[in-house]
Amino acid sequence: MLIVKQISKNFGSFQALDTISFEMNKGEIVGLLGKNGAGKTTLMRILTSFISASSGTVSIDGDDIAKHSLIIRQKIGYLPEKPPLYGDMTVQYYLRFAAEIKGVPKNKRQSQLAKVLQECDLESVKLKTIATLSKGYKQRVGIAQAIIHEPKLLILDEPTSGLDPIQIQQVLALIKNQREQRTVLLSTHSLTEIEQVAQRVLMIKSGKIVLDDTLDELLKNKDSGQSQPLTLEQVFFNYHPQHTLEKSELQVMDE
């Protein structure tokens, strides 16, 4: 479904991505992890054709992103960290607008609108202006616009940022339900969220892939010497040992 080969990205003398390669299969939900500045956002912008790679290739459903960027964009749904919403539009009007600009055929727009309103649980607020909605509902509208054109690949950047615990669980359930319809790449700082919805984890450190494994394999506690299974937090700290020190130092300061 998604094949990334030897992708690098340079911004002047700074190398944001360094020969990254991985593949994603149809129906997978993959968690993308890494601390701030690791290269996650740069990678997502390349995959969504917002910026081009300095070298390497990306193909989605058999199409090369460098040669067929317009076709690729029709196959991708993207929710950036700040959803592209228009506060003065009603939910219904905005999603109709999204369907039009994303190339949904005119005779299918109404059915697609009805489908995403139901799937994202937006029926009760469809006539409300977006500015009046809670953060949780706004995130659902953002996901709705990302899937209204039936993309084969859905890319989500921090989709639960700023939500309360109930809203987080609602959005995670929505993401988990996408598995039957499309492939999902999910970037989040919440390791527990990855554990809840992802089947596989990619970890980026300093522009390189340092970990690519299924969640089940990661948490089996192989060679750890501990009696209990690992958590994803422990796996993350194993690859970022300086964070463990920083965490303990902060706890001492708080005390």
User: With bands split at pLDDT 50, 70 and 90, how would you rate the model's confidence at 221?
Assistant: low
Q: Report which secondary-structure segment, H or E, holds 123.
A: none
User: With bands split at pLDDT 50, 70 and 90, how would you rate the model's confidence at 255?
Assistant: very low
Half-sphere exposure of 205 (CA within 13 A, CB side): 12
The mean pLDDT value of the chain amounts to: 88
pLDDT value, residue 23: 96
pLDDT value, residue 208: 95
In angstroms, the CA 202 to CA 211 distance is: 6
pLDDT value, residue 254: 35
Mean local confidence (pLDDT), 131-139:
94
**Long-range contacts of residues 133-136, Cβ cutoff 8 Å, at least 24 apart:** 133/91, 134/167, 135/162, 135/163, 135/167, 136/163, 136/164, 136/166, 136/167, 136/170, 136/171
pLDDT value, residue 227: 56
Residue 155, by phi and psi: left (phi above 0), alpha (psi -120 to 50) or beta? Answer: beta
SS3 160: coil
| Cα dihedral: 230, 231, 235, 240 (round 10) | -130
pLDDT value, residue 228: 61
Dump the DSSP string for 13-48: TEEEEEEEEEEE-TT-EEEEE--TTSSHHHHHHHHT
Domains and their CATH numbers in the chain: 1-75+151-219 (3.40.50.300), 80-149 (no CATH)
**Residue 231 DSSP label:** P
Highest mean pLDDT among 100-104, 167-171, 228-232: 100-104
Please indicate whether residue 254 or residue 56 has the higher confidence score (pLDDT): 56
Alpha-carbon radius of gyration of the chain: 19
pLDDT value, residue 244: 46
Model pLDDT for residues 12-32, shown as the tens digit of each residue: 999 999 999 999 999 999 999
**Residue 138 DSSP label:** H
Model pLDDT for residues 226-250, shown as the tens digit of each residue: 556 567 877 777 777 665 444 433 3
